[in-house]
């Protein structure tokens, strides 16, 4: 009987102990599902590439610094240093690829200039009749590539840019014409032969012509891009400094003197060296691949 009473007492204490302990507390943060595990923080996405296509028009300020020398037979004239200034029109197109704040740009300028020609350099000399030389219409092509750095302004609605790079100034069209091509076929001048001054007729015939087609240029740019959705407006200023471009043309000269049967023949050679400077103000209107 004593054993039965002890067993009954133990069986009655077991449920009482379970009720006193209660359920174990939930240590998960409130609101977190029971089956979810903490996930790692998402990595920031890299900015995508943006492509900008634009056309532009504007004005060009051209400066040509150089030297001119004329050689007649074995006689060399002093070197004349020249500086020419002109304002011309320019137009063209560009393509820019930007990722974040950095990018690259390829640009083409067409400059309607006449200042980078041998005839224009001749007009800047003190030689007799030089101001009467004709300068024909011409056009030069400037191809350039820039590394671009953009600075966001006004909550990304505008961006200021700085750029540096280089390119090639291709002098084509009529810029390779002979400087003295428009001289008349027969020129009457006073010549001294044997100590006697006589009137002589000079016949000039063109000879060889050699010219560097273009020069390498270094440049920089600054501007402001104003966005209007996918469209944008960009006023900008580009400046370029070019290397030396040389030309050489030769002319045959036959001197006809009355009462003298023998003709006097000589060769006249004109050498020019020119270093171009370009300041291009333009306004671009373009489209962007990203609004």
pLDDT exceeding 90 applies to what percent of the chain?
45
Region 272-288: mean pLDDT is 96
Question: How much is the pLDDT for 193?
Answer: 52
Model confidence at 251, pLDDT cuts 50, 70, 90, reads confident
For residue 95 the two structure tokens come to 């393509």
pLDDT in tens, 160-176: 999 999 999 998 654 45
User: Could you give the CA distance from residue 249 to residue 30 in angstroms, rounded to a whole number?
Assistant: 92
Picking from 232, 217, 44, the residue whose alpha carbon sits closest to that of residue 146 is 217
User: Could you give the CA distance from residue 70 to residue 76 in angstroms, rounded to a whole number?
Assistant: 6
In contact, 96 and 103? CB cutoff 8 Å: yes
Region 243-256: mean pLDDT is 84
288, pLDDT greater than 50: yes
pLDDT in tens, 19-69: 444 455 555 555 555 455 544 444 456 679 999 999 999 999 999 999 999
Region 74-83: mean pLDDT is 86
Question: How much is the pLDDT for 89?
Answer: 94
Strands 50-72 and 186-193, bridge-based pairing: unpaired
Region 105-127: mean pLDDT is 87
Question: Degrees (nearest 5) of the Cα angle 197, 202, 205?
Answer: 155
In contact, 112 and 141? CB cutoff 8 Å: no
pLDDT in tens, 179-214: 666 665 555 455 555 565 666 677 777 778 888 889
Which CA distances in Å does 10 have to 1, 22, 24? 15, 20, 24
pTM (whole model) above 0.85: no
């Amino acid at each position: 009987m004593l054993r039965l009473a002890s067993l009954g007492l133990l069986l009655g204490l077991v449920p009482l102990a379970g009720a006193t302990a209660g359920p174990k507390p939930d240590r998960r943060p409130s609101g977190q599902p029971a089956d979810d595990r903490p996930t790692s923080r998402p990595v920031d996405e890299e900015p995508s590439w943006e492509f900008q296509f634009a056309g532009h028009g504007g004005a060009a300020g051209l400066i040509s610094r150089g030297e001119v020398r004329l050689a007649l037979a074995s006689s060399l004239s002093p070197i004349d240093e020249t500086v020419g200034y002109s304002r011309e029109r320019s137009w063209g197109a560009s393509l820019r690829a930007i990722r974040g704040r950095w990018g690259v740009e390829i640009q083409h300028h067409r400059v309607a200039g006449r200042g980078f020609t041998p005839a224009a350099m001749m007009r800047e000399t003190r030689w007799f009749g030089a101001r009467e030389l004709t300068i024909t219409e011409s056009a030069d092509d400037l191809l350039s590539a820039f590394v671009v750095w953009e600075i966001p302004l006004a909550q990304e609605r505008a961006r200021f840019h700085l750029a540096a790079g280089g390119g090639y100034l291709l002098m084509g069209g009529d810029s390779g014409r002979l400087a003295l091509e428009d001289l008349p076929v027969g020129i009457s001048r006073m010549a001294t032969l044997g100590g006697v001054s006589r009137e002589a007729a000079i016949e000039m015939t063109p000879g060889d012509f050699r010219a560097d087609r273009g020069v390498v240029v270094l440049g920089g740019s600054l501007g402001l891009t104003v966005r209007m959705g996918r469209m944008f407006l960009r006023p900008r200023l580009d400046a370029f400094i070019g290397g030396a471009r040389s030309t050489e043309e030769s002319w045959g000269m036959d001197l006809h003197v009355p009462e003298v049967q023998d003709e006097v023949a000589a060769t006249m050679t004109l050498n020019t060296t020119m270093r171009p400077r370009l300041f291009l103000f333009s306004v671009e209107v373009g489209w962007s691949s990203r609004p």
